[in-house]
C-alpha cells in the first residue's frame, strides 16, 4: 500500500475514534490517554536503547500508569486526596522507587539510565495527565465550557497547524527554522502553521464554546500553535540523537505515538495552567 493510502486508512479509523473519546470523555478518554502515555514512554525508552542506554522501562511504565489512574480518579472526585502535599509528592515517590530499583539492576549506568527513566515520566506521562485534567476540568472548576469540545478544538488546531506548516513550508519555505534538529522545517511553514492553527482553534471554539470569549480564545490558540511546534522540534531532537526517522511504526504512514502526540504533550500543561489562572 502506498504511503498516502496508509495515511488515509489510518485517519479514517483514527478520527471517528478520537471524536468519540473527546466528546464522551470519562473512563474511555482516561484509559486511551494512559495507553498513549505508556506506549509513548515505551518508544522513548527504545530510542534511548538505540543509543546504548538501559533504562528501567517496564517498572517505570507500570508505576506511572498506576499514578495516572489515581490522578484521573482524583480529577473526577472518585478518590479523595489524603493531603495536597502528598498528592504532588507522588511523582517524586516514583522517582525514589526507581532509584531504589536501580541498586538491584545489573548493567546499569546509575546516572544516565535512571535519569532517562525519570525523564520519560516528566517528558511524556505528566503532560498527558494534564490533558486528562483539561478534559475533566469541570469537576474541579466552575468554568462554563464543554470541555469535550474544548479538547476537540485543541486537536483541530494542532492538526491544522501541522498540515499548514508542512504544505506551505514545502511550497514556499526558504528560511530554515531549526536546521540542526529538523532541517526540513522553515520559518514560512511555522508562521503559516501558527496563523492557520490559531484561526482553527478560535473558529471551532467560538462555535462550540462561545462562553470562552474571543480574547481568551486568541490567547489559547496562540499558545497551542506556538508550543505544538516546539513539541515537534523537541521530539525531532530526540529522534535525530537516536538516529531514527520515526519513534515507531505503530500507525501506518504516520509513525509512532510520540510522532502523533508530540505537540499535544508539550501544549497540555501550558493550556492547563492558563485554564487554572482563568478560573
DSSP 3-state of 247: coil
The count of C-alpha atoms lying within 13 angstroms of the C-alpha of 268, restricted to the half-sphere facing its C-beta, is 26
Name 122's bridge partners: none
- According to the model, what pLDDT value does residue 102 have? 85
On whether the CB atoms of residues 154 and 224 are closer than 8 A, the answer is yes
pTM, two decimal places: 0.91
Q: Cell numbers at residue 190, please?
A: 511555522
8 Å CB contact between 113 and 51: no
Among 71-75, 76-80, 196-200, 233-237, which stretch is predicted with the lowest mean pLDDT? 76-80
Instruction: Name the average pLDDT for the chain.
Output: 89
Question: CA 69 to CA 79: how far, in whole Å?
Answer: 10
- Asked whether 31 and 71 are in contact (CB, 8 A), the reply is no
The residue written with cell numbers 511523582 in the block is: 91
Whether the Cβ atoms of residue 152 and residue 204 lie closer than 8 Å to each other:
yes
Amino acid at each position: 500500500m502506498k504511503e498516502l493510502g496508509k495515511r488515509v486508512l489510518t485517519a479514517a479509523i483514527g478520527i471517528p475514534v478520537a471524536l468519540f473519546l473527546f466528546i464522551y470523555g470519562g473512563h474511555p478518554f482516561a484509559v486511551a490517554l494512559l495507553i498513549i502515555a505508556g506506549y509513548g514512554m515505551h518508544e522513548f525508552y527504545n530510542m534511548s536503547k538505540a543509543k546504548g542506554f538501559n533504562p528501567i522501562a517496564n517498572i517505570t511504565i507500570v508505576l506511572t500508569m498506576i499514578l495516572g489512574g489515581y490522578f484521573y480518579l482524583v480529577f473526577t472526585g472518585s478518590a479523595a486526596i489524603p493531603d495536597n502535599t502528598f498528592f504532588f509528592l507522588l511523582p517524586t515517590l516514583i522517582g525514589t522507587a526507581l532509584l531504589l530499583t536501580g541498586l538491584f539492576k545489573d548493567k546499569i549506568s546509575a546516572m544516565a539510565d535512571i535519569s532517562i527513566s525519570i525523564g520519560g515520566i516528566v517528558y511524556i506521562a505528566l503532560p498527558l495527565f494534564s490533558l486528562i485534567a483539561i478534559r475533566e476540568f469541570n469537576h474541579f472548576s466552575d468554568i462554563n465550557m464543554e470541555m469535550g469540545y474544548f479538547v476537540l478544538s485543541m486537536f483541530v488546531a494542532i492538526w491544522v497547524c501541522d498540515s499548514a506548516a508542512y504544505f506551505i513550508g514545502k511550497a514556499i519555505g526558504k528560511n530554515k527554522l531549526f536546521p540542526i534538529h529538523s532541517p526540513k522545517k522553515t520559518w514560512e511553514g511555522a508562521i503559516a502553521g501558527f496563523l492557520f492553527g490559531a484561526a482553527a482553534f478560535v473558529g471551532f471554539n467560538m462555535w462550540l464554546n462561545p462562553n470562552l470569549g474571543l480574547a481568551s480564545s486568541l490567547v489559547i490558540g496562540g499558545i497551542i500553535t506556538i508550543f505544538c511546534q516546539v513539541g515537534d522540534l523537541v521530539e525531532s531532537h530526540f529522534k535525530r540523537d537516536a538516529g531514527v526517522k520515526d519513534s515507531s511504526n505503530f500507525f501506518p504512514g504516520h509513525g509512532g505515538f510520540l510522532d502523533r502526540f508530540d505537540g499535544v504533550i508539550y501544549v497540555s500543561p501550558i493550556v492547563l495552567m492558563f485554564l487554572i489562572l482563568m478560573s
